[in-house]
Amino acid sequence: MIPTERRGVFDVGPLTLRRKGLAGLAQARTVLGEVVQVRVVPRVLPVRGLPSGARRGQVGADERVERGGTDLVGLREYVPGDDLRRLHWATSARTGTLMIREDADPARPHLAVLLDDSSSSYAEEQRFEEAVEVAASLITSALEQGHPVRLLTSSGGTDIEETQDSAPILAALADLELRDVDGRPTVPVRDLDVVAVVSGTTVPALVLEAGRAAFGTVLVVDEQRPVGAAGSVLVISGARAEDLVDSWNAVVAR
């Protein structure tokens, strides 16, 4: 039996078949297959959506861009197959290298989930399991609704971007373990639309990072408390992943 009550990578097999004869007077044992590894991904809870209506402007800008149209969120070098209509001619002419615009719909902001994987942030390991489930739920919902997402960990050991498929991020979350963390993570500017920090405590450095976003929130796996704020950052607390997701659906999703 695969222990699916907990995420992680587990060895399964080989399969053992036992057959008994009439009256149990004879029996045979056959071993089939070999040991294989099975990855159990975190549980995903239903999340209603992200806050909508505003996002940051182009890279490095602090102004918000209201719903409608597109905004320039970055430039990258042209690769064969790119739509030539997205060429940024001014930059291409200045640098001598073909550059492609990366545009985004302001109604579909980027979501960056900063998961605290520091062992000092959790009073018990089960709280980290709840935090991982919250991260998995937010990311899966955002991708299903067409939002680009980024998963980062406070240790710096994980940094994954996705626009469609949640499988690589869920696999990374399945493999995560608590670490001794030293330093402060930084969310890239292009992902500062919606930043959700998930932790087992209110870490000042992580609250400050959430405060850089157009919309920043900290979800704390702790005893149930009312929704509060730390400056411009919304702070949600709950003892279980379900509590945090329910609060997100009630006060954040629109």
Is residue 139, in this structure, part of any structural domain at all? yes
Q: Categorize the per-residue pLDDT at 240 as very low, low, confident or very high, splitting at 50, 70 and 90.
A: very high
Q: Write out the DSSP string of 3-43.
A: -TTS-EEEEE--EEEEEE-GGGS-EEEEEES--EEEEEPPP
Domain boundary, last residue among 89, 104, 119: 104
Is residue 61, in this structure, part of any structural domain at all? no
Mean pLDDT of the chain: 83
Looking at residue 72, what is its pLDDT? 57
Is residue 162, in this structure, part of any structural domain at all? yes
| 168 and 81 share one domain | no
Q: Across the chain, how many H-helices and E-strands are there? A: 5, 15
How open is the CA angle 88-53-209, to the nearest 5 degrees? 80
The pTM score is: 0.74
Is residue 2, in this structure, part of any structural domain at all? no
| 127 and 246 share one domain | yes
Each residue's pLDDT tens digit, 175-230: 999 999 877 788 988 788 999 999 999 889 999 999 999 999 999 998 767 678 77
